[in-house]
Amino acid sequence: MSQKTYLAILKGGIWLAFLSFFFVFKQLLFPYITSKQIYFNILIEILTVFWLAFIIKYPEWRPKKPYIAYGWIAFFIAAFISAVHGVDFNMSFWGNIERMLGLFHVFHFLLFYFILITVMREKKDWLVVFNLSVAAAVIISIYSYSVHFSTIGNTAYVSGYLIFNIYFAVLLMTWNKNWIMKALYIIALIIMLPVFWSMKTSGAYVGLGFSVLVMIFLFGILNKNKKVKVYTLSAFLILAIFTAAVFLDKRAGFVRETPVLKQITTLISTNKNTFHTRLFSWLAAYEDFHNHPILGTGYGNFAITFDKFFSPDFYNYTNNETYFDRAHNNIIDIASTTGAAGLLAYLSIWVAVGYYLIDGYKKKKIAINDFVLVVSLLVAYFVQNLAIFDSLVTYVSFMITLAFLNWLHNGEKVEAKNREFNNKEFYSLLGIGIVVFFIMYQYNIKPLKMLVGTINGQMAYAEGDMVQTEADYKQALSYNTVLDRDSRTSYIRLILQNPSLLNSLDRAKAQEILDFGVQLGEANLKYNPRDSLRNMEFAELLNIAANFNYDNRQKFDDYVTRAEKAIDQSIASSPGRVPVYFVKAQIYLTEGKKEEAFNIFKYAISLNENYPDGYCQIARLYLYDKDETDGYQYMDKCLDLGGISTINDSNTLQEASDHYVTEKDWGRLVKIYQQATTLEPKNAKIWADLAQFYLNAGKKNQAKAAALQAAKLDPSLQSAAEQFINSLGL
């Protein structure tokens, strides 16, 4: 093929990469991630065939002195070695479905970078790429406005993505002398900035804000016009002092009375729960680093470190999202999982970036506007990544930025030297194409089929058809892909979610469904036998199987023994996690070891006496045991700490409500009935009772809302609801 044809294919492929940002295929598991990454992988794999054939046939197009690329290669090698020596190679190399950031996927971003620096050799090429990127961001932003929904998903990912495109739009403004075009980029900024603001991502706020200060400072320092220098540096000084004043006294009247400043200071605060939970993860990495200083725990295996040093105090800040698979700090995550080797290799990328910027600016290869904007953008990206981690949209944008910097420093137009189609080119296309087709089918197409099958299984479960659920999962997992881990986990969680569904089935079929789940649990633990979460879920599943086989002593003993072994490993891997002890207590109850179960609950409570779930669980157990004195003592504590939501048992709630009605304890009754409405949201009587309890507790507005909901669910209550509301005197 001619040089022109290769370039058209490769550049067209780069443009098509932006389509991935829009894909959200609901028939896939984790659609915001998998829809984009699988498409991107396939696209890059196809482009790689043509790219390799192109640089083989036309060696003059091979990138010269690609120092940033050398840094990426060094990092990839260090990360791969860490993966080989790490705790879970499958997680390191293939990643999981929820993130799809294993080395396999990172390698695709690296290939994207190589393609960019190979073919993007003229300013017009970059104009097209930046315009496409900004256009995509504007469309996504408009879509977010119209339906309050982003195709990117996680708000932190949206914020990071928009930072890149805000700077791309500003860069395009400086390149264009046409005021109409400048106006269009201003409109793009006007569309993107409110969406960025609405994401309320503190790390992104800090990153963008700090980068603006850097941008103003650099423009002032580097500008040769003395007046502009003075004005710019004065603006920087005023803005810096104002920013410092705002954050040093967040309670100042002008701060609290200014909506913008109030939101910023509220979000950017060390008092936020999310800051404290991230701090726990950073401290865990610090405590574990000396155990794996050179190669870490293996790329992508931060979860094992977080579990090992998990502190029960974590629950003081949140009861949700207690499993971190990333450190929420890019530098700490890399240091923890790839060790000093990986961190130094990663930092070498930034050293190369610094060299390109400084050397390019000194040699006048990089204009002042380009220099300042690229530096500021990279500062924003680096800073915001100190509180989050990458996704496809930020990886693609980051690679574009680095490739652009490579062009600014090394860019050169290659003279066209067409050559005849020859055997070397033919065999390159054929040989590389066959290898890539195998990779594409094995590691993208087959996982795609598995993801579709998994969703089919979940849909069957939603309809209450466990038999079809099992059949769909067996079909999905028959493809035997490298990403089966999350599909297996989802099947196990379906059984844990409602094991009573098994009772409606033929006993032999129910046993088959359980055995399939046990088989999947065993397969997952082969990746990492010390995985605390997987062991806990496996123990729960085995405990269900033991209860199901209570009349078969041999099977019962086998399941219980294995359940104890799994939960003990879960505890050993994460001794500070309170819920793992609840599971062990349940296993003891299955064995009839009531006293041991009580003791385990009490030990779990001692780990964090402000964590309500332990009180709720032991209260439930005491009430089952007809010990009302101890039961309601713990139930009082459960309610006072706001933990009633963990008791998803209507019988226990009814028994507790009868007790508190007798005691006329309206405050605790309100809490119980609030939970009851989540269990039975369409039960009008519960809403009517809640309305009365609200009134007794002195909460008239809430009483009115509950009464209206009762009437809405049961029109026959309309008259009574109206009389009740009139009596409130509102």
Give the model confidence (pLDDT) of 281-327 as tens digits: 999 999 999 999 999 999 999 999 999 999 999 999 988 888 999 99
Is the four-CA dihedral 716, 718, 720, 724 of positive or negative sign? Answer: positive
Q: What is the CATH number of the domain that holds 526?
A: 1.25.40.10
Q: Is 480 helix (H, G, I), strand (E, B) or coil?
A: coil
Work out the number of other CB atoms within 10 angstroms of the CB of residue 226: 8
Residues 380, 403: Cα–Cα separation, whole Å: 17
Position 365 pLDDT exceeds 70: yes
Which pLDDT band holds residue 76 (cuts at 50, 70, 90)? very high
Same domain for 180 and 299: yes
Same domain for 536 and 405: no
Q: According to DSSP H, which parts of 526-577 are helical?
A: 532-548, 553-573
pLDDT value of residue 73: 96
Residues 188, 130: Cα–Cα separation, whole Å: 12
Query: Percent of the chain having pLDDT more than 70?
Result: 100
Where among 357, 389, 410 does a domain terminate?
410
| Mean pLDDT in residue range 235-245 | 92
455 assigned to some structural domain: no
Q: How many domains are contained in the chain?
A: 2
515 assigned to some structural domain: yes
Residues 692, 59: Cα–Cα separation, whole Å: 82
Tens-place pLDDT, residues 438-459: 999 999 999 999 999 999 999 9
- 619: tokens are 């209260």
Same domain for 96 and 242: yes
Same domain for 522 and 375: no
137 assigned to some structural domain: yes
Position 417 pLDDT exceeds 90: no
121 assigned to some structural domain: yes
pLDDT value of residue 38: 97
Same domain for 524 and 390: no
pLDDT value of residue 21: 96
722 assigned to some structural domain: no
Position 642 pLDDT exceeds 90: no
| Mean pLDDT in residue range 86-108 | 96
Position 115 pLDDT exceeds 80: yes
Which pLDDT band holds residue 575 (cuts at 50, 70, 90)? very high
Q: How far is CA 410 from CA 7, 130, 188, in A?
A: 19, 19, 30
Same domain for 513 and 371: no
Where among 568, 590, 610 does a domain terminate?
610
Least confident span in 62-76, 178-192, 410-424, 654-668 = 410-424
CA atoms within 13 A on the CB side of 405: 29
Residues 535, 608: Cα–Cα separation, whole Å: 22
Domain span at 120: 63-410
Nearest in space to 566 (alpha carbons), one of 604, 597, 538: 538
592 assigned to some structural domain: yes
Same domain for 227 and 104: yes
49 assigned to some structural domain: no
Where among 590, 610, 630 does a domain terminate?
610
Position 416 pLDDT exceeds 70: no
Same domain for 511 and 405: no
| The residue to which tokens 């028959």 are assigned | 478
DSSP secondary-structure letter at 416?
A: P
Same domain for 518 and 376: no
Average model confidence (pLDDT) across the chain: 93
Q: What is the distance of C-alpha 451 from the center of its chain?
A: 18
Position 79 pLDDT exceeds 90: yes
- CB 686 within 8 Å of CB 676: yes
Residues 33, 15: Cα–Cα separation, whole Å: 20
Residues 627, 193: Cα–Cα separation, whole Å: 59
24 assigned to some structural domain: no
Tens-place pLDDT, residues 161-210: 999 999 999 999 999 989 999 999 999 999 999 999 999 999 999 999 99
- The C-alpha angle 492, 493, 496, rounded to 5 degrees, equals 95
| Mean pLDDT in residue range 84-108 | 96
Tens-place pLDDT, residues 547-557: 999 999 999 99
pLDDT value of residue 88: 97
